[in-house]
Structure 1
């Protein structure tokens, strides 16, 4: 047992019966793993942003002249545009959050909220994007059976490109969703978003 130590002001320091709380220690290897994991998430977010933004741009620029058809005449193509634009905006926000986390070592929102926010939104927007791309594919196939694509093949090709870019965006968002799901599991098990 430690003996009481005299203080400068004449009092006596008594040892606390509670154990001292030690600061959380992270090794250099652990910090490198965190940085690599966060960088991988950032790459997937960037790819999702690029593909969904390109899909939205290809769809919205699909009717250059005043002659029909126009992309906004088809509900499925409006859905493709809206879903890709929404996911592009979400991915831009998530890229900012990833950069913040890499540079500061902390999440933008409180850790528990950030983990569930990322996972929940990744799931919802991945299903939204998959649904829109599937609807766009069905409409593009239907148009191939009509004289529309014969009269204006560029319209159909650009619609196909937009839908394909949307599927690629979904693929990268699905990868992001897997990583954010991993973070949720680690948080539930360990109380931290990373298992080290």
Structure 2
């Protein structure tokens, strides 16, 4: 009992400690304790306190919507160039107008080359009649006549296309209308290209056998020249058939 009274008097004699305020009032926003706690938390999370204080909050920027359409040609970019100058890259290649013009030029060039090579081939083979061994002639050999016939057919076909081109320049229309024209060109280019290839290879093989047995003379030289021109015509028509294939499978009209 005495001990309880002594403790009671001691507590009354000691000054009372003021009650603790709430955490928000006891530690104001700028107090050293809170700043130390925030710094420790950022260090533990891997952030740089100095960078976090200096770097302002980034504003949210709404990304531009991509609707799949190209900008106008007159709009300029920040790099100093115009958007129109990059249309070839963004559009996936050369424009259709430029592509059609270049394909028409290439096709015309290949057909003119094929016509020239076929004309030389048939002229040389037709002249190969009297020179050589006992007045030998190309008419006696099927391989040489095959070259002459293939050259005549290919020259006629290439000449038809040249006439069609002149007709298109005058009337702005082709003799054979699209899309039948594309299929016709593809079929004839393929057929005549393989025809010239087989004819030239057969003539050169036959001539090689002739030279190995009896030796070469003026007759064999003319045969080699004619067959070589037929082979060059095959290359020209083969390249033209590539353009014809592209026109058929991509539905691009060269008109």
Cα distance, 1:103 vs. partner?
A: 5.5
Bigger-Rg structure (1/2): 2
1:127 to 194, 207, 222: 194
Q: Separation in 1 of the partners of 2:242 and 2:170?
A: 23
Q: Any conservation in 1 of the 2:110–2:236 contact (CA below 8 Å)? A: yes
Task: Tell me what 1:53 maps to.
Answer: 119
Rate the CA distance shift 1:101–1:32 in 2: closer, same or farther, 3 A: farther
Mapped partners of 2:237, 2:174: distance in 1: 20
Alpha-carbon shift at residue 104 of structure 1 (Å)? 4.8
Q: Give, in whole Å, the separation in 2 of the partners of 1:60 and 1:83.
A: 13
Matched with 1:193 is 253
Return 5+ residue gaps in structure 2 as ranges. 1-94
Q: 1:79 aligns with which of 146, 149, 171?
A: 146
1:158 to 197, 204, 222: 222
Equivalent in the alignment of 1:177: 241
Cα distance in 2, alignment partners of residues 34 and 101 from structure 1:
15
Structure 1 residue ranges without an equivalent (≥5): 1-28
Distance 2:247 2:114 in 1: 19
Count the aligned residue pairs: 159
Aligned-pair Cα RMSD in Å = 2.0
Structure having greater relative contact order (Cα 8 Å, sep ≥ 6)? 1
TM-score (norm 2): 0.58
Q: TM-score, normalised by structure 1?
A: 0.74
